[in-house]
Amino acid sequence: MASKIVFPKEFLWGAATASYQIEGAWNKHGKGESTWDRFSHTPGKIMNGDTGDIADDHYRLWKKDVGLMKKLGLQAYRFSISWPRILPTGRGKVNQRGVDFYSKLVDSLLEANITPFVTLFHWDAPQALEEEGGWPMRFMAEAFVEYTDVISRALGDRVKNWITHNEPAVVAWLGYGIGVHAPGRTDFKLALPAAHHLLLSHGWAVPVIRRNSPNAEVGITLNIGWKVPASNSVADLDLARRDDGQWFRWFADPVYGRGYPSDVTEDFKKMDALPNGMDFVREGDMKTIAAPTDFIGLNYYSRNISRASEKDNDPQIFFPQPQTPEYWTEMPWENYPDGLTGVLGRVYFNYNPLKLYITENGASYSTPPDEKGNVPDVHRTNYLRTHFVAMHRAIQAGVPLAGYFVWSLLDNFEWSFGYSQRFGIVWVDYKTQKRYPKDSAKWYRKVIKKNGF
């Protein structure tokens, strides 16, 4: 049967992971402690007391994992670098063994014809720097640039696609505001400067990467949901505006030279998160943050519906569909593919990035292997297929979407949920570290081969 949905010729198909979620080896070969090591070792923070101490043991099994990627036909692999593996205390002394690990990984990916996409910061900051104050402090952005310089000099000859940050909103709001992520601080007065320094470090890092990695493409990855009000009431509309403002526009607007959105600044003032106004913003910062980039990475998973009548006043997920696995993944996040077409169009037509990547998209389903070792994860395949159709629609509408990375290559440590959520297209048996490609991975392989389905 001929393919009905065909993607543009150069479209890149990949998979994504993050250092803390897969590597393990948290204290091996000179690696320093990260904020996530500290957080997960603190009782009560992570479901079931899970930690990333071993995770997928990828630090040891990386060669096999590259072999697996090759077998699946992946064209690109997005992974992150553990900052404290490179600089154990965050700056100063370099841990050469850490650099070598990533350097060999890159070589082996290139040998397998897989394009590496490197994320510099996917949340595991050096604990030593957190002890000096972490992201709420300006020095943290300076330290990030030192780290960027070291690693982009080491890999820049071979890595040509760089992502400075993954979802800075999650680090700032969940890590410093709400405290359910590392470093577990709970003060929005800290979260606001943290967000600013994350953005500032992005802006400072862009020219450093360009200098060390000729002809590289550089971007940032932001999380985005399809935000809708539950009704047309003023209260619901306003809640949806705030939800989108705090989680997306607060980050996208500065990156695209628009400064911080004033309506959201007002919201933060009402939350008493800006007692001294924006005093952490220095002259020239906004220009730095708006450094031209080559692409934006978007992580899209679901739709968020705002209902102001909910008493805790948080954006509430509304349940308009049957609560079956077809519509609800196990997070539980709604399977809402139309939102992917929506966010792609909205970001492209509002911000005009040169190109876009979906740097994460995927679903948590716990379907286990059967006796033969097959994993019939039909709901994940359904999720992927419907999202691919949604991407294709956006491309046809003129959105320059250049590639897609499924989250995730492997089942892994899902932050505060520990190992209870499985997003992989490959099942990981955490006792034996055996990997079992799920049916979704086998289907994905065919899609990649045909560049469509």
Q: Note whether 37 binds ligand FCB by CB under 6 A.
A: no
Shortest separation between residue 402's beta carbon and ligand FCB, angstroms: 19
Look up residue 351 and give its two tokens: 């911000």
53 vs 330 by CB, closer to ligand FCB: 330
CB of 444 to ligand FCB, least distance (A): 17
Interaction between residue 407 and ligand FCB (CB under 6 A): yes
- CA atoms of 405 and 295, how far apart (whole Å): 14
Give me the least distance between CB of 240 and ligand FCB, in Å please: 20
The count of chain residues that interact with ligand FCB, using the rule CB under 6 A, is 12
152, 166, 361, 416: residue in contact with ligand FCB (rule CB under 6 A): 166
User: Cβ closer to ligand FCB: 95 or 381?
Assistant: 381
127 interacts with ligand FCB by CB under 6 A: no
Tell me how far, at minimum, the Cβ of 4 lies from ligand FCB, in Å: 29
At 168, phi and psi to the nearest 5? -55, -25
User: 104 Cβ partners below 8 Å, 6+ apart?
Assistant: 62
Of the residues 130, 167, 217, 414, which is catalytic?
Answer: 167
Cβ of residue 384: shortest distance to ligand FCB, in angstroms?
14
Q: Which residues contact 258 (CB under 8 A, 6 or more apart)?
A: none
Give least dist CB 1 to ligand FCB, A. Answer: 33
* Binder of ligand FCB out of 35, 95, 148, 223 (CB under 6 A): 223
Supply the minimum distance, in Å, between the C-beta of residue 428 and ligand FCB.
15
- Contact indicator for 219, 357 with CB cutoff of 8 Å: yes
The catalytically annotated residue of 33, 130, 334, 360 is: 360
C-alpha torsion 101→99→181→253, nearest 10: -120
* Closer by beta carbon to ligand FCB, 99 or else 391: 391
CA distances from 42 to 37, 118, 326 (A): 9, 29, 36
Shortest CB 170 distance to ligand FCB, Å: 6
- The one segment of 40-48, 59-67, 233-241, 407-415 that binds ligand FCB by CB under 6 A: 407-415
Cα-Cα end-to-end distance for the chain? 9
Interface with ligand FCB includes 414 (CB under 6 A)?
A: yes
Nearer to ligand FCB, 237 or 331 (CB): 331
Query: Does 33 sit near ligand FCB (CB under 6 A)?
Result: no
**Catalytic site residue 360?**
yes
With respect to ligand FCB, which residue has the nearer C-beta, 62 or 423? 423
Residue from 12, 18, 195, 209 in contact with ligand FCB (CB under 6 A) = 18
Residue 415 within binding range of ligand FCB, rule CB under 6 A: yes
Name residues contacting ligand FCB, limited to 293-312 (CB under 6 A). Answer: 299
In the set 243, 360, 377, 411, which binds ligand FCB (CB under 6 A)?
A: 360
Report the C-alpha gap between 306 and 229 in whole angstroms. Answer: 5
Q: Closest CB to ligand FCB among 34 and 288? A: 34
When asked if residue 423 is in the footprint of ligand FCB (CB under 6 A), the reply is yes
Angle value at C-alpha 118, between 117 and 120, nearest 5 degrees: 155
Nearer to ligand FCB, 137 or 344 (CB): 344
Residue 119 is a binding residue for ligand FCB (CB under 6 A): no
CA distance 384 to 295: 23
Please identify, among the stretches 50-58, 162-170, 224-232, 303-311, the one whose residues bind ligand FCB according to the rule CB under 6 A: 162-170
Q: How far is the CB of 414 from ligand FCB (least distance, A)?
A: 5
Beta bridge partners of 296: 220, 356
167: contact with ligand FCB by CB under 6 A = yes
Instruction: For residue 108, state whether it binds ligand FCB (rule: CB under 6 A).
Output: no
Query: Applying CB under 6 A, which part among 45-53, 106-114, 166-174, 424-432 lies near ligand FCB?
Result: 166-174
Residue numbers at the binding site for ligand FCB (CB under 6 A): 18, 21, 166-167, 170, 223, 299, 360, 407, 414-415, 423
Query: Known catalytic residues?
Result: 167, 360
